[in-house]
Amino acid sequence: MTPSVNKHNTSEIEFTHRESEEEVVHLHADSALSMDNNTTMQVHADQKCITNKRYMPLLVINYVCLFVGSLAASLLSKYYFIHKGSSILVSTWVQTAGFPLLIIPISLPYLLKLTNRVPFTDFTPRMLVLSVSIGVMLGFNNLFFSWGNSYLPISTSALLLSSQLVFNLIFSVIIVKQKLTFSNVNCVILLTLSSILLALDSSHETPKGLTRKEYFFGFFCTIAAGLMFAFYLPLMEKIYRRVNCYEMVMEMQLVMELAATTLATVGMAGGGGFAKMKAESRMVFDKGCVVYWVTVLGNVVTWQLCFMGTAGMVFLTSSLTGGICMTALLSMNVLGGVLVYKDAFGGFKAISTVLCIWGFLSYVYGIYKLNRKEQHKALTRNKNHIVNIAAN
């Protein structure tokens, strides 16, 4: 909840609590805000805390995008490899090749007259450099994920990615000064135990046709992907603290994915990936040419939903909350792998899933208690502020 004090025809003062437990006062006006490079950025309503009527729908929409995108992208990526698709570069390329779709959330609010801000109006050269640099890192992260996903059962890959939460917490403490609490430390410990149990059981489910060397290569590539993504989340949170509208978040995401796609395209062109892609659809993929291109298109769209939802969650909440929400979806990915692809689901994996869910629920309960406490403090402060104004 976001308590607020409003006075007509004056600036609106809103108090918001974020995962870092910092209380930020946002002043909304039609003036201009000075930037580091002496340019100005028009001050618009801060969508991180504007009102419950707009904040909550945006939060729900992004979590739905994250849920649908994460589950569908994992299943479709595995479907590609199961049916004799073999190109790691294709799997990497499709993860960000749908970046033009982000034009929709960027331009739609302006076209519908929901905002006066023209897209890319406040996009500074510094933001461009940051977005391109992070996009290159994202491109390598996607490559590691593709390697891991090509070798591992989807349920194993999903549970291994839960290890990113450990690194997420560490990087959050270092980069955005995330405070340690019982709930977030307990969650990280439980998820770490979940990954350890999975590793102990991994030797019993090496996919047919793969050597142990290839299997463990995929195992460690997945860990590396989790590590890089854990660094990406708090880094983006730090940058998003200077951003006050969702459209600009999507603009930065578009530039990042353009950089990542460029990196993947260079690899595809250098390795003859596009020609191999055409040949693969006709002669290799065992479900036929049409299903092949539908699978590729489905991957392009669902990965965009996943990335859009992730960026939105970090912007609206925090990097740690975004990581927690993604981890909560891992159990759905595990169940999806078991139901759709008949992945093994023995005792170790069952216990790992339970620990994953337990850690998430403990974290959510801790956040609920913390939000109630901070809401009470904010309401008391607002009440005292009103009393002081009346007394004067």
Digitized pLDDT (tens) for each residue of the chain, 392 residues in all: 433 334 333 333 333 334 343 433 333 333 333 334 333 344 444 566 545 466 778 888 998 999 899 889 888 888 888 888 878 888 889 999 999 999 999 999 889 887 888 888 888 899 999 999 999 999 999 899 888 877 877 667 767 776 677 788 888 889 988 888 888 788 778 877 876 776 666 555 556 667 778 888 888 888 888 889 889 999 999 998 888 788 899 999 999 999 999 999 998 888 888 888 888 998 889 888 999 999 999 999 999 999 999 999 899 888 888 887 777 776 677 777 778 877 777 777 788 778 878 887 887 787 777 767 777 777 787 777 787 777 76
Domain definitions of the chain by residue range: 92-272+323-377
Q: Are 123 and 248 in contact (CB under 8 A)?
A: yes
Of 223, 206, 207, nearest in space to 165 by CA: 223
pTM, to two decimals: 0.75
